[in-house]
């Protein structure tokens, strides 16, 4: 299964990708996570990428396409993948199509998750992520005994720099200007399936599984 989880920031792509990855035994490829990990390495390139991410802009297509080309060719993607956060522009989508066709592979489906902008701002201002295991918490839903520590692994919880409300609004504008046209590209290829991003995590997970089984 080769699938893309598509949708605005905060719609729940990362959460759903983790569940699907466990269920389908295929890797979750999050370009945002990869960039955040690289940022810890403190190279010139990763410092530049972090500065861009922190303001809610997009990292350049050249860099992102290079990253995705390497991942697609790696053994871990041999049996499939779940892409989260890529592609975010039309050139990225087209580059992904060419890499896959060079590898004689085809995308199976693009799941388009939708949500209102105000819900995103609300959600992301309450999102905490664990530095240790990557679990995502929402203070509106999860009752955490200690908001500094992950109840699963004891790792420290942090708020992403780009989850501050003004940066979230910037990311939503970038999504609407640069990323949402990618939807039409996949609609044209007959790969797009829609899911509403509001509802319980398990409920949305089952809706996605049902879409996958009825393709």
- Residues annotated as part of the active site: 13, 88, 127, 160, 171
What binding mask, one character per residue, do residues 105-134 give for ligand AMP by CB under 6 A, x or -?
------------------------------
Residue 65 or 195: which CB sits closer to ligand AMP?
Answer: 65
Q: Does 85 bind ligand AMP (CB under 6 A)?
A: yes
Contact indicator for 49, 39 with CB cutoff of 8 Å = yes
Q: Does 171 bind ligand AMP (CB under 6 A)?
A: yes
Contact indicator for 99, 72 with CB cutoff of 8 Å = yes
Helix (H) or strand (E) holding 23: helix 13-24
Helix (H) or strand (E) holding 118: helix 117-125
User: Residue from 20, 29, 64, 157 that binds ligand AMP (CB under 6 A)?
Assistant: 64
Q: Does 12 bind ligand AMP (CB under 6 A)?
A: no
The structure tokens listed for 63 are: 């860099």
| Contacts of 115 by beta carbon, 8 Å cutoff, 6+ apart | 7, 8, 10, 11, 12, 196, 197, 198
**Residues contributing to the site for ligand AMP (CB under 6 A):** 9, 31-32, 35, 52-53, 56-59, 64, 85-86, 88, 92, 162, 171
């Amino acid at each position: 299964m080769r699938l893309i989880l598509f949708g605005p920031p905060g719609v729940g792509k990362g959460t759903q990708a983790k569940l699907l990855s466990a269920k389908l035994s295929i890797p979750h490829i999050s370009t945002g996570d990869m960039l955040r990990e690289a940022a810890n390495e403190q190279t010139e390139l990763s410092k530049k990428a972090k500065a861009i991410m922190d303001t809610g802009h997009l990292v350049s297509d050249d860099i992102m396409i290079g990253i995705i080309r390497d991942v697609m060719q790696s053994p871990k993607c041999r049996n499939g993948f779940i892409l989260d956060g890529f592609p975010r522009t039309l050139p990225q989508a087209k580059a992904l199509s060419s890499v896959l066709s060079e590898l004689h592979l085809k995308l199976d489906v693009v799941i388009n998750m939708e949500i209102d902008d105000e819900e995103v701002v609300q959600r992301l201002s309450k999102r905490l992520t664990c530095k240790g295991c990557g679990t995502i918490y929402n203070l509106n839903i999860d009752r955490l005994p200690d908001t500094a520590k992950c109840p699963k692994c004891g790792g420290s919880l942090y708020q992403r720099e780009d989850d501050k409300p003004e940066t979230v609004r910037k990311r939503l504008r970038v999504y609407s200007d640069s990323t949402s046209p990618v939807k039409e590209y996949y609609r044209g290829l007959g790969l797009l399936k829609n899911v509403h991003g509001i509802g319980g995590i398990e409920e949305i997970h089952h809706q996605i599984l049902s879409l996958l089984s009825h393709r």
